[in-house]
Amino acid sequence: MKEVVVVYSAAVLILLTHGCAGPPRPADSGDSAQAPAAVGRDTLEILRSVRTSDVSDALDSMGLQQRYQMDPSMRPLYFGIRFAGIAHTAEYDVIDRPLEPMSYEQFDRRQYGGPEPLWKEAGKWGAPGQVLVIDAKRTPAGILGSANTLQGRIDGVVGYVIDGTIRDSYECIIQTTPAFCTVRSPAHPMGRIGPVSDNQPITCAGVRVVPGDVIVADDDGVMVVPQRIAAEVARRAKLIQDKDRPGRRKSYEKLGLPPDETVK
């Protein structure tokens, strides 16, 4: 496998998921990569307003139970993260090529983008409304860190989901990085992991993700909404939430609780 690498000033990319094939996608979901425009703006706005539990119930009602919920080990860096956006996928795999001893100056040049960096970017990611979804085989090699996630957000990325490592986790937290991961580790990717594909179908935390699918994430976990059924999932999820809020609002009133965004 060709060794390709990502150069970032403070942290680089990590590893994919655990490599299981996951359940087959239903015939109406599609497996070919499509442009993000396949999901309408109105649909995306609804999916940004509902909970992952609403999305899960909507999929259950369509006979798609247990297909699109990522493994519960996929957890947010901190409580209160919530996003929905269009998936841009990447896959990495273990290479296990330990570095030979070198001077710090050599290491600095190779790690941080000198004339012959060890890592080159596998593909161009970073766009408005995008969620970067990475299958990094759940390895302790920190593909995402405090620097490259900031740059992604500058480019419009609304969230990160990686079956693998986020390093610089304290910095990522105080920077309010909207990220979910299965591993935390201080390790750099060099010599540990290499890119396999960019913006192709992957399996992340047990769920197949196709570029252009919608990723919905909150404190409960991460849901994948196939683009071809996104409009119907959004319609049902909104009906579920609209039914839930009035009842909870009445309970708030009885308890004297001040209303918040979840009941308005």
Buried b (16+ CB within 10 A) or exposed e, 155-166: eebbbbbbbbbb
Residue 122: predicted pLDDT:
62
Over range 192-209, report the average pLDDT: 94
More confident residue, 22 or 95: 95
| Chain CA centroid to CA 35, Å | 18
Per-residue model confidence as pLDDT tens digits over 23-60? 444 434 444 444 445 899 999 999 999 999 999 999 99
Query: Over the stretch 150-185, which tens digit does the pLDDT of each residue have?
Result: 999 999 999 999 999 999 999 999 999 999 999 999
pLDDT at residue 118 is higher than 70: no
Q: Annotate the chain with DSSP letters as a single string.
A: --------SS-----B------SPPPTTT--S---GGGS-HHHHHHHHHS-HHHHHHHHHHTT-TTSSBPPTT-EESSTT--EEEEEEEEEEEE---PPPP--HHHHHHHHTT-SS-S---SS----TTEEEEEE-BT-S-EEE-HHHHHHHHHTT--EEEEEEEE-SHHHHHHTT--EEEEEE----STTTEEEEEESS-EEETTEEE-TT-EEEEETTEEEEE-GGGHHHHHHHHHHHHHHHHHHHHHHHHHHTPPP-TTT-
**Is residue 106's pLDDT more than 90?**
no
In this prediction, residue 77 has a pLDDT band, given cuts at 50, 70 and 90, of very high
Residue-level pLDDT at 176? 97
Instruction: Say yes or no to pLDDT of 75 above 90.
Output: yes
Residue 205's pLDDT is 97
Q: Does residue 137 surpass a pLDDT of 80?
A: yes
Domains and CATH numbers, the chain: 36-248 (3.50.30.40)
In tens, the pLDDT along 206-236 reads: 999 999 999 999 999 999 999 999 999 999 9
In the predicted model, what is the mean pLDDT of the chain?
A: 84
Q: What is the pLDDT of residue 112?
A: 64
